Structure 1
Amino acid sequence: MARIFTRAGLVIPEPRKKPHSAQKRFVYPQPNACWQIDATEWPLANGKKVAIFQLIDDHSRLALASLVASGETSEAAIAVVSLAIERHGVPEKFLSDNGAALNPTRRGRTGALVEYLKSQGVEPITGKPGKPTTQGKNERFHFTLHRYLRKQPPPATMAILQTQIDTFDQYYNTEREHQALPGKQTPQEAWLATPKTPAPARPDPEANKPEPPHSKQRRVRKDGRVSVLGTAFNMGNDLAGTAVHIIHDNATITFFDAHGTEIITHPVPVHGTRYIGNGKPSGVAADPRGARSKRTKYPPRKRPESTTTKEVSTES
């Protein structure tokens, strides 16, 4: 829409209003300093949608590996990352969104991909929830892939789609000049122009060996919370007043109800964490009708009418 108005001459350019930060593109200084992963959907010829995982290097924009999968799962994410590590080495950092298949740490849970990355010495990082621009380079990569796939015959199978994407990655890396790279380099040229970041050291398995689990009993408070390890965990108002059994070590903490059914499992929170929710909506978002009824349960008291009366003149 902005381009239409501009072409029509209805927009007055004011370049001085553009902040200096808008002219700078953040990029890591070396290849393998940070990788980015994200998944996008694409339909097969029969209309069935599949997931495409795309993994790129932040510095060079090199397409490290791509994988077609039946869905956005942690198993598929680990497979594409393992393939990229086999080809290009181990990165220092790894950026993703907060999806359950990628990095659900901000949701109070651990993930299979996160644990795999940590075992390789990689630091998993995520963007803030609701801020997709953090993964903007990968989102732009999706757009370029979609434009290419629209020109190809509809793939009948996932294997055919994988072949199309492999051909695209080869062209993208070695032939297509990238507008975001200095001198319009190809990603392969940018990858080779700068030494790679050294691979991180793998953690000592003995240092992270789980300690013997501890067991506790707690009663859920009226607000649906239980405090343990200095942190209040939200169990939900439906469990208020009930007893819960807690088992934790130096890695995870798990809550069970009185029948032994698991309620929820969290990574052990960082020291100083005051509260961890249960991932469910609360308040108006959870029960708009109930929230309104609480507000209207006690209607505002009417102001009493004044008992003073005005004198009425009897004079004619």
Structure 2
Amino acid sequence: MSKSQPDIKIRHAVATWSEDSPRGAVTAFCRKHNVSRAWFYRVRAAASEVGPVKALEKKPTVPKTMPTVTEPAMIELLLDTRADLQDRGLDHGPLSVIAKLSRMGLKPPSRATVARIFVRAGMVVPEPRKKPRSAYKRFVYPQPNACWQIDSTEWQLAGGKKVAIFQLIDDHSRLALASLVATGETSAAAIAVVTQAIDRHGTPQRFLSDNGTALNPTRRGRSGALVEFLKALGVEPITGKPYKPTTQGKNERFHQTLHRYLHRQPPASTMTALQAQVDAFDLYYNNEREHQGLPAGMTPIEAWNATPKTPPPLTPAPVSPCRERQSAQRTVNRSGSVTILGTHFKLGKEHIGTIVHVLYDDADIMFFGAQGTEIITHPRPPRGTRYVGNGKPSGVAADPRGARKKRTTYPQLKPRNPTHQDELSTQS
């Protein structure tokens, strides 16, 4: 095999080769200097065409055509697309840029090629020690509605007020089921966003959350309003282990994507304006953004539609054939009590001015604090009962553990005028 660039002395000997050299001299020369006969005669042809001196110049070994080289127009389009996605607060890595161009009907280069283009342009700092994506093992439920995940993240309005954004996603498809901007992480807001998602997409089999008091305080030794609400629908509420946020990793990554988007939007001055921005983000997230946790080239809505839904859970038999469980909110008055179903219920002076969440059916009536902590549970009193105490002497503070109180027995009272019976509307 010949050398790629033989020494100048060898090229000179070839360029000035005598035409009357003996037979076999060329073969011997090539073997001695480890060059090919083809190269020998190329140099001889160049010497005849441009002269011996010009033929001595070394030419770069660049191919005439390079079909695998990315065209400058494509490089410019890749860089512009990345900049546009970044300005809009959307994911702008190589896979996101490729997905964007592919859905426009173009054929961008491979992920590795796009990544090298971004590095050469100075847009990306290489991270050679970063853990490869293949090293992570994800658990995914096999069907939509098999399990939902909920969590909230904090955000600040333009005026400095902090609010909570509840985000609810489907574990299988990563579909953004519903999002809600609320004044804080409360059980009432959690129930509202879950109700909204159920109305849109049906009822899930399982429901995953963290151990927050507004979501699922079961591991803290008490129940919660959201837990009771889900159980009434036949849904199994589950939680991750304490101090193990990776269990809710899909939600945490969802928050990160939302925050990046909101940081690029005009600061919202009201909760209504922020809700509009969150709704616009959900629309893009579900229908346009190819999710890297899904099969290649799929958006959450495509993954949601690709697999049959898990059947809804069997709803537990109602405690009464006459009435289903309903909910309401009340503010504790100055005497430490609330009025519901025409009856005054004593909760205690330590709850004055707070908002309580009430769940009731024909058998029981339960009171929960704003963070989902159970305050007290009574059997539903007979119609006409004017007042129900909390079973404690005046001035005694509530049990800090929030334990279930003893049920109270009621005397038989004359029913009040049925026209004065208060009715409550079911809270969605």
**TM-score normalised per structure 2:** 0.47
**Over residues 13-51 of structure 1, what are the superposed CA-to-partner deviations in whole Å (9 max), with x where a residue is unaligned?**
998xx9x9x442110000000000000011100111100
Q: CA RMSD in A?
A: 3.0
Secondary structure of the 2:402 match is strand
Structure 1 position 131 matched with structure 2 position 212: no
Describe how 1:32-181 pairs up with structure 2 within 5 A: 32-181=145-294
- Residues 1:191 and 1:157: Cα distance change in structure 2 (over 3 Å): same
- Residues 1:174 and 1:266: Cα distance change in structure 2 (over 3 Å): same
Separation in structure 2 between the aligned mates of residue 166 and residue 58 of structure 1, nearest angstrom: 20
Is the deviation greater in 155-164 or in 259-268? Answer: 259-268
Secondary structure of the 1:65 match is strand
Describe how 1:278-297 pairs up with structure 2 within 5 A: none
Q: 1:200 aligns with which of 308, 313, 319?
A: 313
Secondary structure of the 2:280 match is helix
| Larger Rg, first or second structure (1 or 2) | 2
- Residues 1:8 and 1:156: Cα distance change in structure 2 (over 3 Å): closer
**Over residues 158-199 of structure 1, what are the superposed CA-to-partner deviations in whole Å (9 max), with x where a residue is unaligned?**
000000000000000000000110113100000000000000
Separation in structure 2 between the aligned mates of residue 173 and residue 166 of structure 1, nearest angstrom: 11
The one-letter code matched in structure 1 to 2:299 is T
The structure with more helix, counted as a fraction of residues: 2
Q: 1:28 aligns with which of 122, 138, 141?
A: 141
The one-letter code matched in structure 1 to 2:238 is I
| Cα offset, 1:259, TM superposition | 7.3
| Cα offset, 1:73, TM superposition | 0.4
Question: Structure 1 runs of 4+ off > 4 angstroms?
Answer: 6-9, 247-250, 254-261
- Residues 1:128 and 1:153: Cα distance change in structure 2 (over 3 Å): same
**When the two structures are aligned, how many residues end up with a matched partner?**
216
Unmatched tracts of structure 1, length 5 or more: 1-5, 210-246, 269-316
Matched-pair identity in %: 68
8 Å Cα contact 1:39-1:51 kept in structure 2: yes
8 Å Cα contact 1:66-1:80 kept in structure 2: yes
Separation in structure 1 between the aligned mates of residue 192 and residue 200 of structure 2, nearest angstrom: 13
| Cα offset, 1:7, TM superposition | 5.0
Secondary structure of the 1:164 match is helix
**Over residues 181-230 of structure 1, what are the superposed CA-to-partner deviations in whole Å (9 max), with x where a residue is unaligned?**
011310000000000000001111239x9xxxxxxxxxxxxxxxxxxxxx
